[in-house]
């Protein structure tokens, strides 16, 4: 479940760099209008054409549907996915002025294996580190944006049983996990600057990634079913720089797990915002954690 969204990061970096700009030129995005007219079909006066077409339709052999190699959907997984989707936060859970965009699509980008990097640091076999990104029951939200540019995205998964969920949280809550996650994120950002054209294009040519600072922060909820990593990623360039704050929260209720990623620039999301968010997430998970 632990993952970083490339497109969310590019958007956050672009916003942070833009806020550093001294340009007074305003830009406006203009959406292209869609046509209200229905497509037209060219008519023909040649009766032979119509006759031939009718004859071909009448005599055409039935088309055989080729067999598919796709495995049938497991009803249990489908039911769990529906339950996971119902536990996701919606736009109504955020303050007035927030907006919602589609979930990021990183399918065409080279994935950085964050799980493998963290597992190696922790001395855990990769296949033993909790990773539910391919779980059939996983559901994810769109990206929610505040007027100030904060972005929030959530994933929920219902795993096999409570023991699996508890073991996963134990790994996330290990004392050395925040440092391992910090080092993996440092490697991730350096790799993005080197190989991701969209990421590097959003930055000045001389940009470099500074030393990522990270820690495990207390989640303002009354139980131990939440883990919070807070990271500050300094991006430095001539004449300025920007700090990208990346916060990752893990929650568990029963066999339901959730990960939330929050990205802001210049200022962290803040405990005053996290408290209400955490309480809402845990209440939603409890409703589906059967």
pLDDT level of residue 274 (50, 70, 90 thresholds)? confident
- pLDDT above 60 (res 241): yes
pLDDT tens digits, one per residue of 151-167 = 999 999 999 999 999 99
Q: Domains, the chain, ranges and CATH?
A: 6-16+77-104+111-288 (3.40.1000)
Q: How many whole angstroms separate alpha carbon 130 and alpha carbon 119?
A: 9
DSSP 8-state symbol, 141:
-
* Segments in the chain forming alpha helices (H): 6-20, 47-59, 75-86, 114-122, 162-172, 177-195, 197-201, 271-288
Distance CA 105, CA 136 (A): 17
Mean pLDDT for all residues in the chain: 77
Neighbours of 225 (CB within 10 A): 24
Contact between 255 and 289 under an 8 Å Cβ cutoff? The reply is yes
């Amino acid at each position: 479940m632990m993952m970083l969204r490339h497109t969310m990061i590019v958007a956050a970096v672009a916003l942070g760099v833009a806020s550093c700009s001294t340009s007074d030129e305003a830009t406006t995005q203009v959406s292209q209008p869609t046509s209200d007219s229905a497509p037209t079909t060219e008519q023909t006066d040649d009766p032979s054409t119509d006759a031939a077409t009718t004859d071909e339709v009448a005599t055409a052999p039935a088309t055989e549907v080729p067999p598919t190699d796709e495995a049938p959907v497991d009803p249990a997984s489908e039911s769990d996915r529906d339950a996971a989707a119902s536990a996701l936060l919606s736009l109504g859970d955020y303050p007035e002025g927030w907006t919602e965009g589609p979930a990021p699509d990183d399918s065409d980008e080279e994935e950085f294996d964050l799980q493998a990097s963290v597992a190696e640091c922790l001395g855990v076999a990769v296949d033993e580190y909790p990773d539910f990104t391919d779980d059939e029951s996983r559901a994810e939200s769109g990206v929610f944006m505040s007027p100030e540019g904060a972005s929030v995205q959530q994933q929920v998964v219902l795993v096999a049983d409570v023991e699996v969920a508890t073991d996963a949280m134990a790994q996330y809550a290990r004392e050395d996990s925040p440092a391992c996650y910090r080092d993996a994120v440092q490697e991730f950002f350096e790799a993005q600057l080197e190989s991701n054209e969209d990421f590097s294009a959003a930055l000045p040519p001389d940009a470099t990634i500074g030393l990522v600072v990270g820690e495990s922060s207390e989640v303002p909820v009354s139980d131990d079913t939440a883990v919070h990593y807070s990271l500050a990623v300094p991006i430095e360039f001539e004449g300025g720089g920007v700090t990208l704050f990346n916060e990752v929260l893990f929650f568990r209720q029963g066999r339901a797990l959730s990960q939330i990623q929050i990205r802001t620039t210049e200022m962290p999301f803040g405990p005053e915002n996290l408290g209400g968010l955490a309480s809402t997430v845990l209440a939603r998970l409890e409703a589906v954690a059967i």
